[in-house]
């Protein structure tokens, strides 16, 4: 695809740059779930990881490459043959593999980070791209810190990378320093000065340190870029990357100003956003464009009145266009298994028999407690079940004494490797007492890094969705739990995180934790 086309290639790096942000780690099963939704959304390229970085990253790229058939799957590599070989090995099962290699080109990075002279950097660019190209037909090259690179040197490296076989040249604004006019001018400068630029697709990769990642990316598209690198919910290093949903919806909504198209099925945006925030524990701020809880809410009476008369008075896009269907009362305590299965299908879940049975049991329990059961309730409940089949520890029951007259106490039953065990503990409040019970039953030294509670829907009978982040020896895991009882949800979330930690440990140690 050349830049004369108006089609913008969407390159999603949620699983690589997104996952690089502290606390955002995803396990293999979670990465596969995200990759599948990205493919369903028709993302053109899914960057699945940085295979040399760790065995976990390697495995994730390899498994994503095996299951993704229509999107391209990219693996990242530094400009070293060992890195490129590792990335290529991980991509072996891919239907449409892409090798993405990068090297810093700015004076600051060359001098202090690489400690290399420009000539050596240029040589390494030619060597790495030609080497990658001998392995793979689809090679992307990125000059890291491209926006702070001296223009003559950038042009020279880009020209050489294209000559060496790169089909995509990605210009990163690595530190989120650029402003839109300047970044657009940089892209225009490359389009004008690099003689073989028509042989490659120009891509951009913008970070959001000044809150300009989306504006810079769109300015670059107007200047000739035809690939945008972005992430779901804008997650990524530091302040994050350009957000996929904002780029795609800006292109869709402002065709008059930006006559470019993406191939994205925008109706899946909400689903992808919820999945990523549930898995990572990175909640989306309520006023975030496109996917924030308030993005389509009209509070002021005068606005509500306008929307009722004609939605376009205050809505520039429809909630349905991003897959936000007005919450409907879907199911009740009389709904049967068949209706439940149909509902799950409608929400995009295909569960195996065991998981379906467990989810249905939990749904019945919920319908008994909660007057109205909404789609969001069912999504939270299924998120709480998916991927739990290998868990060593299972929640059984919790009894808590709390209130202003202490002490707060908890009695907890957990099933650990098939045996039900009971603990009693006190604490500074009911959550602390509950977590102390877990520590008695499953002794561990992991530190609690995040404890976050969110109501799934409105009303005092709403389910609480809790995220717990644990850290042990530099490894972080996120656990989720949902229940109408906030303490039960908290306990489930902690147990989920602990199970993930045990699985991580099992990969490095033979024996698992047990009380
Ligand atoms: O921000 C950056 O420069 C990157 C590159 C590896 C593309 O993430
Ligand atoms: Zn980046």
DSSP string, 155-184: HHHHHHHHHTT-SEEEEEETTS---HHHHH
As for ligand 1, residues whose beta carbon falls within 6 Å of it are: 17, 102, 142, 144, 170, 172, 174, 205, 207
Residue 15 Cα to ligand 1 middle (Å): 13
Residue 417 Cα to ligand 1 middle (Å): 43
Ligand nearest to the CA of 236: 2
Q: What is the pLDDT of residue 3?
A: 47
Residue 19 Cα to ligand 1 middle (Å): 13
Q: What is the pLDDT of residue 388?
A: 77
Ligand nearest to the CA of 76: 1
From 11, 15, 16, 17, give the residue whose CB has the most ligand 1 atoms within 8 Å, as the site to mutate: 17
Residue 16 Cα to ligand 1 middle (Å): 10
In this structure, are residues 127 and 79 in contact, taking their beta carbons and an 8 Å threshold?
Answer: yes
Q: Say how far apart CA 507 and CA 118 lie, in whole Å.
A: 42
Helix H, strand E, coil C: the string for 367-424 is HHHCCCEEHHHHHHHHHCCCCCCCCCEEEEEEEEECCCCCCEEEEEEEEECCEEEEEE
Residue 241 Cα to ligand 1 middle (Å): 10
Distance between the two ends of the chain, CA-based, in angstroms?
58
From 172, 173, 216, give the residue whose CB has the most ligand 1 atoms within 8 Å, as the site to mutate: 172
Ligand 2 is an ion; its neighbours by CB within 5 Å are 17
Residue 237 Cα to ligand 1 middle (Å): 9
How confident is the prediction along the chain (515 residues), in pLDDT tens digits per residue? Answer: 444 589 999 999 999 999 988 888 899 999 999 999 999 999 999 999 999 999 999 999 999 999 999 999 999 999 999 999 999 999 999 999 999 999 999 999 999 999 999 999 999 999 999 999 999 999 999 999 999 999 999 999 999 999 999 999 999 999 999 999 999 999 999 999 999 999 999 999 999 999 999 999 999 999 999 999 999 999 999 999 999 999 999 999 999 999 999 999 999 999 999 999 999 989 899 899 999 988 987 666 677 677 777 878 878 999 999 998 764 545 778 888 888 888 888 777 888 888 888 889 989 988 888 767 888 888 888 888 777 777 899 999 999 999 999 899 999 999 999 999 999 999 999 999 999 999 999 999 999 999 999 888 888 888 999 999 999 988 889 999 999 999 999 999 999 999 999 888 776 543 333 23
Q: Say how far apart CA 231 and CA 279 lie, in whole Å.
A: 14
Give the residue from 245, 227, 121 showing the smallest Cα distance to 171. Answer: 227
Atom of ligand 1 nearest to the CA of 13: 8
Residue 240 Cα to ligand 2 middle (Å): 8
Query: What is the DSSP-derived secondary structure letter of residue 433?
Result: H
From 47, 84, 142, give the residue whose CB has the most ligand 1 atoms within 8 Å, as the site to mutate: 142
State the Rg of the chain over Cα. Answer: 25
In this structure, are residues 488 and 37 in contact, taking their beta carbons and an 8 Å threshold?
Answer: no
In this structure, are residues 17 and 23 in contact, taking their beta carbons and an 8 Å threshold?
Answer: no
Give the residue from 335, 387, 485, 368 showing the smallest Cα distance to 344. Answer: 335
Residues in contact with 55: Cβ distance below 8 Å, sequence separation at least 6, in sequence order: 507
Q: What is the pLDDT of residue 71?
A: 98
Ligand nearest to the CA of 177: 1
Atom of ligand 1 nearest to the CA of 229: 7
Q: Say how far apart CA 289 and CA 244 lie, in whole Å.
A: 11
Report the 10 Å Cβ neighbour count for 287.
10
Report the C-alpha dihedral over residues 22, 82, 125, 168, rounded to 10 degrees: -70
Alpha carbon nearest to ligand 1 atom 1, residue:
174
């Amino acid at each position: 695809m050349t830049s004369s086309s108006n089609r913008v290639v969407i390159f999603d790096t949620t699983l690589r740059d997104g996952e690089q942000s502290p606390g955002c780690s995803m396990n293999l099963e979670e990465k596969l779930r995200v990759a599948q939704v990205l493919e369903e959304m028709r993302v053109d390229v899914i960057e699945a990881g940085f295979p040399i970085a760790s065995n976990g990253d390697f495995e994730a790229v390899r498994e994503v490459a095996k299951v993704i058939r229509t999107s391209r799957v990219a693996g990242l590599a530094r400009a070293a043959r060992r890195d490129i070989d590792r990335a290529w090995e991980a991509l072996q099962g891919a239907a449409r593999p892409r090798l993405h290699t990068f090297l810093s080109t700015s004076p600051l990075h060359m001098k202090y980070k690489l400690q290399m002279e420009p000539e050596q950097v240029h040589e390494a660019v030619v060597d790495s791209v030609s080497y990658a190209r001998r392995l793979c037909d689809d090679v992307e090259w990125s000059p890291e810190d491209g926006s702070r690179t001296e223009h003559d040197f950038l042009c020279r490296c880009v020209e050489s990378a294209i000559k060496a076989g790169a089909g995509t040249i990605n210009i990163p604004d690595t530190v989120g320093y650029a402003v839109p006019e300047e970044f657009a001018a940089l892209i225009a400068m490359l389009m004008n000065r690099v003689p073989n630029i028509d042989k490659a697709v120009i891509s951009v990769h913008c970070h959001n340190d000044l809150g300009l990642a989306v504006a810079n990316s769109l300015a670059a598209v107007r200047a000739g870029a035809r690939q945008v690198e972005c992430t779901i919910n804008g997650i990524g290093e530091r302040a994050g990357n350009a957000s996929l949903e904002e780029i795609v919806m800006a292109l869709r909504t402002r065709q008059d100003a930006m006559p470019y198209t993406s191939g994205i099925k925008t109706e899946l945006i909400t689903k992808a956003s919820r999945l990523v925030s549930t898995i990572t524990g990175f909640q989306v701020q309520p006023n975030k464009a496109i996917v924030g809880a308030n993005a389509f809410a009209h509070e002021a009476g005068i606005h509500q009145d306008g929307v009722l008369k004609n939605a376009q008075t205050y809505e520039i896009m429809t909630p349905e266009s991003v897959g936000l269907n007005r919450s409907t009362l879907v199911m009740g305590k009389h709904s049967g298994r068949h209706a439940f299965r149909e509902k799950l299908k409608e929400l995009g879940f295909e569960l195996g028999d065991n998981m379906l049975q467990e989810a249905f049991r939990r749904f019945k329990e919920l319908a008994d407690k909660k007057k109205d059961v909404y789609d969001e309730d069912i999504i939270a409940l299924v998120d709480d079940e998916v991927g739990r089949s290998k868990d060593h520890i299972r929640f059984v029951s919790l009894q808590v004494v709390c209130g202003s007259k202490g002490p707060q106490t908890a009695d907890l039953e957990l099933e650990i490797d098939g045996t039900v065990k009971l603990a009693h503990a006190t604490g500074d409040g009911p959550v602390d007492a509950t977590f102390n019970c877990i520590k008695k039953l499953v002794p561990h030294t992991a530190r609690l890094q995040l404890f976050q509670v969110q109501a799934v829907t409105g009303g005092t009978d709403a389910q609480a969705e809790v995220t717990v982040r644990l850290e042990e020896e530099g490894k972080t895991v996120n656990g989720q739990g949902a229940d109408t009882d906030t303490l039960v949800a908290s306990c489930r979330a902690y147990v989920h995180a602990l199970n993930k930690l045990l699985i991580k440990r099992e990969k490095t140690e033979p024996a698992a934790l047990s009380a």
